Structure 1
């Protein structure tokens, strides 16, 4: 297993480091004294020694991220076979689904805050892990037993590639379920709460990761983040394989002559929920902690928000990621209508994509802990744009329309995504102070995650002025192809613009620590960070929820074509 090989390699370099699972025992409040890096062994931020990746507490931590990986790999992956093909929801609606099922990540700072200063039964982390997993279990149980209904078009009975206008009224009533797209709303909203549940657990686990990472010497700091996110990515592959082989029947747009019901994937996700609750209770290691006063925590966190290192990194993560994640709404429709991507191939490409993502994490964790972050991100981004644009335009203009050729787009995107993701976690560890690990890690990664729904609002609004709906894609004429091309060109230009903001990102850990010590403070910048954070969350969440309801989905802010006489047309 690659993680174990990494561990042995790192231990050879720092053989004197041992895991100290009881480093916090005997401390009155459970917090280590903050020391300047360099005062401890080889630049560690706090004392305690690096975590042994074979220890019981490491195994329990891996269980958290393994369970998250399965659910995080399953729920978003249902977008194409279930919501795009089975329910025939529009491209802007499926784009909203992708955002909403990951919306819980946008509130990580709040869950991290609770984990920092509201211990339950003396535990800051374990209790919130259990609460999060119970919420996830309840929502998944509801989706398991509430029927989703018949598909929009039952491909087992008729040819669903023929426009519905060519059918008689009797045939439409027999072969089509015109209410199918509206029935997806309940499941999308429950999926939103599923994401909130497991993200609550994830935030408590993230806070533990920060504590462990700050105990690592500078030369290997980042090892534990690389390990846990590699576990999360690899376990998500199991979920994608389930979608690939179980949801590839004709009703899902696939080629198999059989498939499971649309509720089965949710039932499968219940299994890790149960298992991780038990491992959290019986295996997770955490010393008892006294409650940190909320007022005291607020003062401490406000001091951190004012520091230049905090607001500068947050500004970079939000602005750069907003440009980087500007996509195109016709992505899913052209995959189904033009490239003929089956759920099996879509899921298998996701599996390969996650393997690439894991590979990037392992390479950066083993060889690139001291690489220049700016150069690495720039090289990955430009390389992917070249590959992505070539594949997409060849498909749009019917030069090559092959499902395996088209799904290569998703594979290339994993290169810069992996680099930017792991770099953001490295930044959070360098910034965090003892006592606010959860909120700091949550804020830095939340700002990064929040860019995705905000970008989704922007590109859905812009793309709503182009003829790229499901019906337009089925026409497949020159004008439609031209309008789809415009949507993708706008996306690529924005991705290139994301590199303009690299000057805000320090090139490595040492410059980051220097910026933290000597960067100064600004109350105005801290206040603006808070205000813009709340505004972005409110705006993004509202617009994406509007996109999934029939009465509001046509508004341009939701990605629709606009109202008719003040209302959405049927």
Structure 2
């Protein structure tokens, strides 16, 4: 009984660890399984990421449902249970699906091992098999986002009960636990996903993709049981009542408030500009740099360790730093380091997989700091009874605009034909310049995001001031216009990203292809 009391309320920590496992599986698979095993095109690869990112847009609906419709008097736990059950079912389905043959031929050299012959194709249909797995990945991510928004709401409620000096430290601790868990899972996937068929070095040692899906399914079931036993939602609800009609009115009023609308516009603009990524990155990484899954995962281990340490440093030293200055400095450094490592790889000056990830060692925790800063601002802005919805709305907007940015970037960069494998086989100066041009567009868009930093407050004191002013100042027409843009962006990016998943349409320039007549 004493042990039960001690563990009561610890479910967000266990959920954070499982979240690290699931996301390591998803993003390891996008590189090793989709990029290497099935050999999907560059714009398909980018759109796979977009489809996964688009699922975050659904958090607003899940969060509002959780905030407004309690089940058995609980607003979080019942929905977490449903979401985790769907996650377990979808990952188990990946396990039982028959595995397709790899795209490239695997040559067995008997005494000297084996290798992948990229000049010999054994399964031309492999990229077309990506669709069924992509659908399962999207379903898995949707259900995980559903559970995640409930945990976010729980943590936001708990953080709002903290005093101003310590507000946000609980979420910071959760992030540290998540990163440390990510270290263990990155090591696991580094060895498990290192077969030759997945771009690695091992002939027989390691697990197949479907076996790793089973590992995730089992982990999900364990997390489900733990969440049921050790979630203390009743301790923080304290008799609060939810009313859907009232919450709809309050949500619309919140979106009209000047301080919250400025924050939404900031996330939309920044995510859109950062979403304009070159579709050449996956090809450069695989064909020119020669990144292996094992090295990618080992670097992930180091990045997670640094991120956990950096998050602890933020928790101890930067909780009261100027938010605008943090975003300006971190974003500038992140883009500068990216430019240095990517330029030397594109022009063949240094094509080393360890050098390729040098910027990620720093950028990993820089990005997390910026993300965490946004979470601190939301805690200051979130009204009661809309704790989850406020948090989800921000990231829904961010996800939609980021997806729109990627789809927009695919259209712009389709004229450079950087998803064609011949560019990377020939590797001439003209090929390098074409790839470099798309990277210039990528970097320029990212740097332009700095012009919007004035839309966020400098610290908690300014956030409070803006919030009080927002109670008096409603921007109704601007809110309507903004929401129309967000809805258009979400629908457009979803359609354009889906086009890349079908053989008949992925060649279209609007989908990022080089033209179907070529």
SS in 2 for 1:553: coil
Unmatched segments (≥5 aa) in structure 2? 109-113
The whole-number CA distance in structure 1 between the counterparts of 2:353 and 2:438 is 20
Matches within 5 A, 1:276-315: 276-287=223-234, 292-315=242-265
Aligned residues of 1:357 and 1:418 also touching (Cα < 8 A): yes
The whole-number CA distance in structure 1 between the counterparts of 2:415 and 2:179 is 36
Question: By how many angstroms is 1:358 displaced?
Answer: 2.7
The whole-number CA distance in structure 1 between the counterparts of 2:383 and 2:341 is 45
Higher percent of residues as helix: 2
The whole-number CA distance in structure 2 between the counterparts of 1:198 and 1:369 is 28
Structure with the bigger RCO (C-alpha within 8 Å, sep 6+) is 2
SS in 1 for 2:106: coil
Aligned residues of 1:108 and 1:443 also touching (Cα < 8 A): yes
Question: By how many angstroms is 1:491 displaced?
Answer: 1.2
Question: By how many angstroms is 1:162 displaced?
Answer: 4.9
The whole-number CA distance in structure 2 between the counterparts of 1:254 and 1:272 is 25
CA RMSD of aligned residues (A): 1.9
Question: By how many angstroms is 1:55 displaced?
Answer: 5.3
* Counterpart position of 2:273: 323
Tell me the TM-score normalised to structure 1 length: 0.84
Question: By how many angstroms is 1:203 displaced?
Answer: 0.6
Q: Among 534, 540, 550, which residue is 2:493 paired with?
A: 540
- Residue 381 of structure 2 corresponds to residue 452 of structure 1: no
Aligned residues of 2:271 and 2:398 also touching (Cα < 8 A): yes
Question: By how many angstroms is 1:207 displaced?
Answer: 0.7
- Residue 122 of structure 2 corresponds to residue 163 of structure 1: no
- Residue 432 of structure 2 corresponds to residue 481 of structure 1: yes
Q: Among 387, 396, 402, which residue is 2:346 paired with?
A: 396
SS in 2 for 1:295: helix
- Residue 32 of structure 2 corresponds to residue 81 of structure 1: yes
Matches within 5 A, 1:436-475: 436-469=386-419, 470-475=421-426
Question: By how many angstroms is 1:161 displaced?
Answer: 5.1
Question: By how many angstroms is 1:156 displaced?
Answer: 3.2
Q: Among 369, 393, 399, which residue is 1:419 paired with?
A: 369
- Residue 210 of structure 2 corresponds to residue 263 of structure 1: yes
The whole-number CA distance in structure 2 between the counterparts of 1:55 and 1:420 is 33
Aligned residues of 1:73 and 1:237 also touching (Cα < 8 A): no
- Residue 164 of structure 2 corresponds to residue 218 of structure 1: yes
Q: Among 68, 87, 108, which residue is 1:136 paired with?
A: 87
* Counterpart position of 2:111: none
* Counterpart position of 1:152: 103
Aligned residues of 1:317 and 1:447 also touching (Cα < 8 A): yes
The whole-number CA distance in structure 1 between the counterparts of 2:407 and 2:8 is 41
Aligned residues of 2:417 and 2:514 also touching (Cα < 8 A): no
Distance 1:365 1:137, change over 3 A: same
Distance 1:361 1:452, change over 3 A: farther
* Counterpart position of 1:340: 290
Question: By how many angstroms is 1:496 displaced?
Answer: 1.1
SS in 1 for 2:70: coil
The whole-number CA distance in structure 2 between the counterparts of 1:460 and 1:234 is 35
The whole-number CA distance in structure 2 between the counterparts of 1:310 and 1:446 is 14
The whole-number CA distance in structure 2 between the counterparts of 1:141 and 1:291 is 37
Aligned residues of 2:105 and 2:118 also touching (Cα < 8 A): no
Aligned residues of 2:67 and 2:387 also touching (Cα < 8 A): yes
Aligned residues of 1:432 and 1:441 also touching (Cα < 8 A): yes
SS in 2 for 1:155: strand
Aligned residues of 2:330 and 2:370 also touching (Cα < 8 A): no
The whole-number CA distance in structure 2 between the counterparts of 1:159 and 1:138 is 35
* Counterpart position of 1:190: 136
Aligned residues of 1:67 and 1:273 also touching (Cα < 8 A): yes
* Counterpart position of 1:105: 56
Question: By how many angstroms is 1:375 displaced?
Answer: 0.9
